[in-house]
A and B are shown apart, each in its own frame.
Chain A
Amino acid sequence: MRRLVAIAAAIAVLSACEREDREFRPPPVGTEAEAPVTLSSIAPGTGPAERPGEMGQAYEENAYHLSEGKRLFTWFNCKGCHANGGGGSGPALMDDSWIYGGALLNVVQTIREGRPNGMPSFRGKIPEEQIMQIAAYVRSMERQVPQDAAPGRNDDLMPRPSEHRLPARPAVPGGTVPPSGQAPQ
């Protein structure tokens, strides 16, 4: 009997070996029209503003997509303005304040359409799936993603711990526009 239990336990242990599948063809993302995103909390009429949906969960819980996002963050030179998340001529990404909303789809919208005062639009230049990967990675800088999926290794020297070692913090919508991002007076 004891032996049977041991064998069953060994088999159960083996089942933990596969953490996740790498999806080389990422889950399809609907066209922009299918993903309405609220850009501002101010809305006409009396109804409450539309909230961003829960789409993209699959991207945030998958270590492969997050690591791809991390690679693309460098490849597409997001670092040029946002540095390694600490901010430079662009706002910091690793803090908990989000000028245009901290939900995944807000970040997607920011990358796809651009924002005033410098954030360029990458519409048509970055495939939708890759935008989702980058946005998911941006959220992982603030540990908005599960710890076991967040990237756990930096190839270069980094000014901060790798993403999976950061403390999880809930996103605070709103935030302030840094002086560098404000329109000239």
Chain B
Amino acid sequence: MRCCRPALVALPLTLTGCTGWQSSLDPQGPQADTLATMFWVFTAILALVWLLTMAALFLSLRRARAERAGPLVLEPQAERSMTRAVSAAVAFTAAIVIALTVVSYAAQRALFSSHEAPLTLLVKGHQWWWEVTYEDGQPSRRFTTANEIHVPVGQPVLIKLQSSDVIHSFWVPSLAGKMDIVPGRENRLVIEASKDGIFRGQCAEFCGWQHAHMAIAVVAHPAEEFERWRENQISAAEPPDDPLRKRGMEIFLSRPCVMCHQIRGTPAAGKVAPDLTHVGSRLHIAAGTLPNSRGNLAAWITDPQGIKPGAHMPLMKLAGDEIEPLTRYLEGLR
């Protein structure tokens, strides 16, 4: 007992790692539920098989061997019982493998049976951030955001996955399994959140230097709150009213920022970097690397290569007194 005490203390501690905003063992939607159920069925059956095998091994090692008359003497009785035991074990193994195959197949059927959903998103993987476009029948209601997906609770959402450069993989463990993003083709995945909350996802296929800093947040709201969020995102950025933020906008439009980023409602229309129209309303910046705050925005703009080496955001050498107006302007884009 004494020898097991550290293990007994450590085991519950490891289990606490299973909950949280990024865990497939803490499912928050029907797709993740299906996967978690499958995981536990596999784990339970295979654990049982392992225990039985180990017990049989242990017993056979401990069993006293009967004396044999000679090495060449046949023992039909013992042979027959051994044949029976081995046949039973093979049949049992085959039955388990077939049963697990059926369980796995049924789970796949449940996950990929439907590609219809009231809400369709186009998620594009870039090195190293996510572009998210909310599709709509009306072109004027289509909009783009970055690194953050908002979904209504209890509604399936179809996600079309595309890549602009290399292979990525979209994985929000609390809501669904992984789906690879392959350049030149479109993979589809349906996710659904059964309760509100924030779930973290991240790129699950090594995609270059900053693969580890390529996270995405999925925010699930009640339906009416989601609609409010969507209406706000559809609208263009409001022009700044105070002089400091006005100066910030001028700096944004006259500096390299404007070459890559878009702010709807201004001449900035770059499409190769995250859309910043409502950047102030996001939880994180730089694809989940830093929490969104004015200080972090300033740090990111001043030294992007120190925070995320290799990212495509260049060093811009802004003057010291340009940082405050610029970050105030960006912070206010809500």
Contacts and interface: CB of A to CB of B under 8 A. Distances in A.
Interface of A: 22, 24-26, 71, 75-76, 124-127, 129-130, 155
Contact of A130 (B258, B272, B305, B314): B314
Interface residues of B, number: 16
Contact of A125 (B259, B272, B305, B309): B259
Given A124-B255, A126-B259, A127-B256, A75 B272 contact: yes
Contact of B256 (A26, A71, A125, A155): A125
B187 to A, nearest CB: 19
26 contacts: A22-B310, A24-B309, A24-B310, A25-B305, A26-B315, A71-B312, A75-B259, A75-B260, A75-B272, A76-B259, A124-B255, A124-B256, A125-B255, A125-B256, A125-B258, A125-B259, A126-B256, A126-B259, A127-B256, A127-B314, A127-B315, A127-B316, A127-B317, A129-B314, A129-B315, A130-B314
A71 B273 CA distance: 13
B43 to A, nearest CB: 42
Nearest to B316: A127
A25 B258 contact: no
A126 B260 CA distance: 10
B77 to A, nearest CB: 62
B266 interface: no
Contacts of A25: 305, 315
A124 B254 contact: yes
B183 to A, nearest CB: 8
Nearest to A26: B315
Contacts of A26: 315
Interface in B274-330: 305, 309-310, 312, 314-317
B116 to A, nearest CB: 33
Contacts of A130: 256, 314
Nearest to B257: A125
A130 B272 CA distance: 15
Given A124-B254, A127-B256, A127-B316, 20 more contacts: A24-B305, A24-B310, A25-B305, A25-B315, A26-B315, A75-B272, A76-B259, A124-B255, A124-B256, A125-B255, A125-B256, A125-B259, A126-B256, A127-B314, A127-B315, A129-B314, A129-B315, A130-B256, A130-B314, A155-B165
Nearest to A22: B310
Q: Helix, strand, loop or mixed for chain A's interface?
A: loop
Contacts of B314: 127, 129-130
Nearest to B260: A75
A126 B257 CA distance: 9
Nearest to B272: A75
Nearest to A128: B317
A127 to B, nearest CB: 5
A137 B264 CA distance: 32
B287 to A, nearest CB: 16
Nearest to B310: A24
B85 to A, nearest CB: 54
Nearest to B165: A155
A183 B272 CA distance: 34
Interface string B238-273: 000000000000000011101110000000000010
Nearest to B304: A24
A154 to B, nearest CB: 13
A26 B315 CA distance: 9
A24 B272 CA distance: 19
Q: Which of B256, B259, B317 has the most CB of A within 10 A?
A: B259
A25 B302 CA distance: 12
Contacts of A75: 259-260, 272
A17 to B, nearest CB: 18
A136 to B, nearest CB: 15
Which 8 interchain pairs have the tightest Cβ spacing?
Answer: A24-B309, A24-B305, A75-B272, A127-B314, A25-B305, A24-B310, A127-B256, A125-B259
Contacts of B316: 127
Contacts of A76: 259
Q: Which of A24, A126, A127 has the most CB of B within 10 A?
A: A24
Contacts of A125: 255-256, 258-259
A129 B272 CA distance: 19
B323 to A, nearest CB: 16
A148 to B, nearest CB: 21
A22 B315 CA distance: 15
Contacts of A126: 256, 259
A169 B165 CA distance: 31
Nearest to A127: B314
A135 to B, nearest CB: 15
Contacts of A155: 165
A47 B315 CA distance: 39
Contacts of B309: 24
Nearest to A31: B317
